[in-house]
Structure 1
Amino acid sequence: MSDDPRLAARAFIESGGPTIPQIWLKYWALGGTADVMELDAFIHGIPLLRGLEVELLTLALKELSTE
């Protein structure tokens, strides 16, 4: 998985992995505060998330990749 969570998320989705709403649900369950539209925008290159929010997205992707 890429070190950049945006690239990792896009690659994961394109490979038949989870959808953006599924990624958002895991991210939100871990304590993320962005809504699904903000997460979608971030994954597609608009830098809306910072710091802890990016770390939570990275953790969500790691957890989803092991399910």
Structure 2
Amino acid sequence: MKIYDVAIQLAFEGLEIAENNTHYKYIFDFWTLLGAIYTATSSLEEAEDCFDTALSMKHKLESEKTATTTG
């Protein structure tokens, strides 16, 4: 279980960096990663919250892709 605790801590650190730099793809990736870690530890409510948060990033990901391809 200790390795999962470290993984969660590092994922939150990465998430914070991604959020500070508004890199929506990485924010999505870190929320998805956290959901997978929580699933592996049978923390299903936390996993669901993480996956829901990742899904809520979908519109920002789409607008980021559009800005990249048109800019």
Question: TM-score per shorter chain, which class?
Answer: 0.3 to 0.5
Q: TM-score, normalised by structure 2?
A: 0.35
Taking CA–CA contacts closer than 8 Å with sequence separation of 6 or more, which of the two structures ends up with the larger relative contact order? Answer: 1
Which is richer in helix?
2
Q: Bigger radius of gyration, 1 or 2? A: 2
Structure 1-normalised TM-score? 0.36
